[in-house]
Amino acid sequence: MAEPQIIGWQRADGRKGIRNIVLVAYLVECAHHVARRIVEAAGHDDVHLIGFPGCFPNAYADKMMRALVAHPNVGAVVLVSLGCESFDRAGLLEAAQASGRAAELLVIQQEGGTRRTIAAGVEAVMRVRACAHQAPRTNITISEIVIGTVCGGSDGTSGITANPAVGVAFDRLVGEGATCIFEETGELIGCEPLMAARAATPALGREIEASVTKAEHYYTVMGFGSFAPGNAEGGLTTIEEKSLGAYAKSGQSRISGLIKPGDVPPAGGLYLLDVVPDGEPRFGFPNISDNAEIVEMIACGAQLILFTTGRGSVVGSAIVPVIKICANPETYQRMHDDMDINAGAILSGDATLAKVGDAIFERIKAVAAGAQTASEALGHQEFILTYKSFEPIGPACLPVRGRA
C-alpha cells in the first residue's frame, strides 16, 4: 500500500494545517444562538462553532481565543458579538487578520437583531470561506505535526491497553521529530518523580514536580480529586491506579518542556501541559469536561488529538480531528462506530501493544493526509471554554530551542 502523502495548508506564520476550517466564534453566551444558526445556515461541514460564554473579561480566555483563531487548522474567521460584553472583539479581530486569515466581525446590536445578523453572518462566512480556499497547499512531514493526547471515560483497561499504546506511538513520533503533548497534572499525582527523572534538565524536573504539587494542593482545597464515580464503576480502584494509567500515555521519551494553555512548543519533542489554574483555587474543577482539555491542547497548536477511552466516549472537537482509541474490547464491540482503533485487541489476544502503537501511528498519518476520523464522520464538533487564570511559564520550563 502506498504511503499517504500529507498535503496541508501553509499559514503566514510558517505553521501548517491538516484541515482548513472556517470558525464562527461567539464572544458571549448572548451571541451563542445567533452564531450557531449562522453555522447551521451556512451548511458546510468545514464551518465550525466555537466561543467564550462569559460577559466579563478574562486574560486566559482572551489568550485562548487569540490562539484558536490563528490555529494552523483554521483558514478564516467570523466573530459574532452581542455588542455590550467585555470581550476585546476589536483586538481579537485584529489578531485574526494579522495572522493572515480573512476575518470579519458582526455585532448583533448594530446589525439589527437575530434575523439580520444570521443573514449577514451567512454572507460573511461565504466571503471568508472563499478566501480560505485560496490558501497555498504544501507538503507536511511528521516532524511538522503537533499531536495531543487525553483520556476520558477511563476504566480498568485504559492503563494496560490504550494508554500505553499511545505511549508507544508517542515515542515513535518524538523519534521522527514530531511535537507531542500530554496532560493532565491533576491526574499525574504520584508520578512526578518519574517525570522529573525524564526531564531534559534538572531545572525542568523541578518545575514538573512543582506543577504536580500545585495540582495536589488545588484538589485538596476543593475537596475532591480527578477521580469520577464512572471511573470506579469501570474497575479503577484509586487515583494512584488512574494516575499510572494516565502517565502511560507519555511513553518513555525525554520530556522537553512544561507548557500552559496557549503556549506553543518551540520545537519537536514531548511536552507536559499544566492545566491546573495558578493561585488559590477559585474556579471549581480545573477542567469541567474532557473537551475543555482538548481545547487547551488545540490552543497549544495541536493539529490532531488522540483520545483514549475504556468506558466509551462519543465526543470529537471543533478545529481538529480526534482519533478515538478504545481500551476495552467489550466497549469497542458496543460502540465501534465511534472508535478508530481497537486497543482492546491487546486484551483479547488479537494484537500486541507494539502492533496497536504502530496502528495509531499509521492512523495519525492517514488522518493528517485527509482521512476522516469516526467523530468527524459523525459530525462531532464539541467545544467548551470557561474562566481560568495562569501565570507565564518560567525560563526553566522550555530548555529546548528550535522551530517556532
Confidence of residue 231 (pLDDT cuts 50, 70, 90): very low
Give pLDDT, residue 334: 96
Q: Decide if pLDDT at 132 tops 70.
A: yes
Which domains does the chain show, CATH number per domain? 21-134 (3.40.50.2300), 142-397 (no CATH)
Q: What number is the average pLDDT over the span 315-337?
A: 96
What the block records as the C-alpha cell of 108 is 448583533
CA distance 196 to 113: 54
Nearest to 308 by CA among 159, 169, 190, 151: 151
CB atoms within 10 A of CB 334: 12
CA distance 294 to 71: 14
Band (pLDDT 50/70/90 cuts) for residue 1 is: low
| Region of 87 on the Ramachandran plot (φ > 0 left; ψ -120 to 50 alpha; else beta) | beta
Cis geometry, peptide bond prior to residue 184 (ω within 30 degrees of 0): yes
In this prediction, residue 383 carries a pLDDT of: 97
If you average pLDDT over residues 39-63, what whole number do you get? 96
- CA 335/CA 34 separation, integer angstroms: 33
What pLDDT digit, counting tens, does each position of 374-403 carry?
A: 999 999 999 999 999 999 999 999 986 543
Could you give the percent of the chain with pLDDT greater than 70?
Answer: 93
For residue 243, pLDDT over 90 is answered with no
pLDDT of res. 239 = 53
- The average pLDDT across 81-91 equals 97
> Cα separations (Å) of 398 from 296, 335, 383?
18, 40, 28
Band (404; pLDDT cuts 50, 70, 90): very low
Using the Cα atoms of residue 386, residue 301, residue 11 and residue 16 in order, give the sign of their dihedral: negative
pLDDT band at 224 (very low <50, low <70, confident <90, very high): low
Burial class of residue 131 in the structure, from the number of CB atoms within 10 Å of its CB (0-12 exposed, 13-18 middle, 19+ buried): middle
When the pLDDT of each residue in the chain is averaged and rounded to a whole number, the result is 92
Cα separation, 124 vs 115, whole angstroms? 14
- pLDDT tens, residue by residue, 143-189: 999 999 998 887 888 889 999 999 999 999 999 999 999 998 888 88
Residues paired with residue 269 on neighbouring β-strands, in sequence order? 179
User: What is this structure's pTM?
Assistant: 0.93
Per-residue three-class SS string for the chain: CCCCCCEEEECCCCCEECCCEEEEEECCHHHHHHHHHHHHHHCCCCEEEEECCCCCCCHHHHHHHHHHHCCCCEEEEEEEECCCCCCCHHHHHHHHHHCCCEEEEEEHHHHCCHHHHHHHHHHHHHHHHHHHCCCCEEECCHHHCEEEEEECCCCCCHHHCHHHHHHHHHHHHHHCCCEEEECCHHHCCCCHHHHHHHECCHHHHHHHHHHHHHHHHHHHHHCCCCCCHHHHHCCCCCHHHHHHHHHHHHCCCCEEEEECCCCCCCCCEEEEECCCCCCCCCCCCCCCCHHHHHHHHHHCCCCEEEEEECCCCCCCCCCCCEEEEECCHHHHHHHHHHCCEECCHHHHCCCCHHHHHHHHHHHHHHHHCCCCCHHHHCCCCCCCCCCCCCCCCCHHHCCCCCCC
Query: pLDDT value at position 230?
Result: 47
